[in-house]
A = this chain, B = another copy of it.
Amino acid sequence: MQQKSGLGRPSFTDIDLKLLRIFAEIVRCNGFSAAQISLGMSQATISQQMRHLEERLGLRLCERGRAGFYLTEQGRQVHGAMLDLFGAIESFGTAIGDVRGELTGRLNFGTVDAMVTNRALGLDRAIGAFHQSAPKVSLDIDIAPPQALAQGLLTRRYEVALLPVRDALPGLDSRRAFSERQFLYCGQKHPLFGRPDGGITDADLARQAFAGRTYMPDERICGIDFQWSAQTAHMEGTLTLLLSGAFIGFLPDHFAAIPAREGQLRAIAPERLYFDDIFHIAFSPGRRNRTALLLADLIARECDMAGA
């Protein structure tokens, strides 16, 4: 459609969003006829619309007929680009809802693992409160290592994330949430398990196989140059390694508490061998919307309450 003035050539999608939606539904249903009911229109209309869309794009999107329905390679690519576009439209809708003071849409939240057992945090309570305040928001929680979280914030995978912060986060807007103390543990089968703290020197520790987390700094921890022999991205991975009896490694106290109480794990010299991870709530750049702020506030409130 060429238009005589003003807005310039209507970039494809102007009029054709509806056509794209129809196409999406056809793909989902895998055929024209099958999409009739869910689209609420006759098969003839669907056929027309598809032709219309294909003419506009100048591409054959799918093969159909008695032989079966399938996307062409081009159709597959268009379908992918389309889903991105729909995502952007949903974001716009969410932004509008936000301006109107409504809390709607989707919120992508990322956190590291082993946050459930952290009683000093009460993430479960924060999330409960969030759902109560914003029942229309669909909350998507993802668990990932810290670097993946930081990167996901930049790439807009998450709107908010809770993650330990070592250096300042470049280009990210964040606030301090709480800190978590990690102690050095060994498993029941480990040679050091029975030895009293007093009989363990730094040199002894430097000789043990050490299980680190991938996102830990490579430098020495608590003045000890540990011998990195295994690494995992998850607390659970570290715990498994420790329980094997072959390694020593750091775990947050709340996470180690249960196996420690049962005598499967033991903290080594906890009065001197520990470090603190400072957790921040960080926002994706330019996406600090009301919904994200609400979740952040609720998490922060839980931290404060637990800390008091």
Contact = CB atoms under 8 A, between A and B. Distances in A.
Interface of A: 3-7, 11-15, 17-18, 21-22, 25, 35, 37-41, 57-59, 74, 77-78, 81-82, 84-85, 87-93, 95-96, 98-100, 147, 151, 154-156, 170-171, 285
Contacts of A77: 95, 98-99
B74 A85 contact: no
21 contacts: A5-B40, A6-B39, A11-B90, A12-B92, A13-B17, A13-B92, A14-B18, A14-B21, A58-B100, A59-B99, A59-B100, A74-B100, A77-B98, A81-B92, A82-B92, A84-B95, A85-B89, A87-B88, A147-B170, A155-B171, A155-B285
A88 B85 contact: yes
Given A6-B39, A7-B40, A77-B95, 4 more contacts: A6-B38, A12-B92, A14-B18, A156-B156
> Top 8 closest A-B pairs, CB basis?
A5-B40, A88-B88, A81-B95, A154-B154, A6-B40, A6-B39, A85-B92, A6-B38
Give the interface SS of chain A, mostly helix, strand, loop or mixed: helix
A14 B14 contact: no
A40 B4 CA distance: 8
A77 B3 CA distance: 29
A100 B116 CA distance: 48
A174 to B, nearest CB: 15
A218 B156 CA distance: 30
Contacts of A40: 3-7
A92 B96 contact: no
A57 to B, nearest CB: 6
A78 B99 contact: yes
A40 B5 CA distance: 5
A74 B101 CA distance: 10
Nearest to A1: B136
Given A155-B171, A171-B151, A96 B78 contact: yes
A7 B39 contact: yes
Contacts of A6: 25, 35, 38-41
A90 B193 CA distance: 62
A178 to B, nearest CB: 26
Nearest to A284: B155
Contacts of A39: 5-7
A220 to B, nearest CB: 17
A11 B93 contact: yes
Contact of A96 (B18, B81, B91, B99): B81
Contact of A93 (B3, B13, B95, B170): B13
Nearest to A29: B6
Contacts of A11: 89-90, 93
A51 B52 CA distance: 31
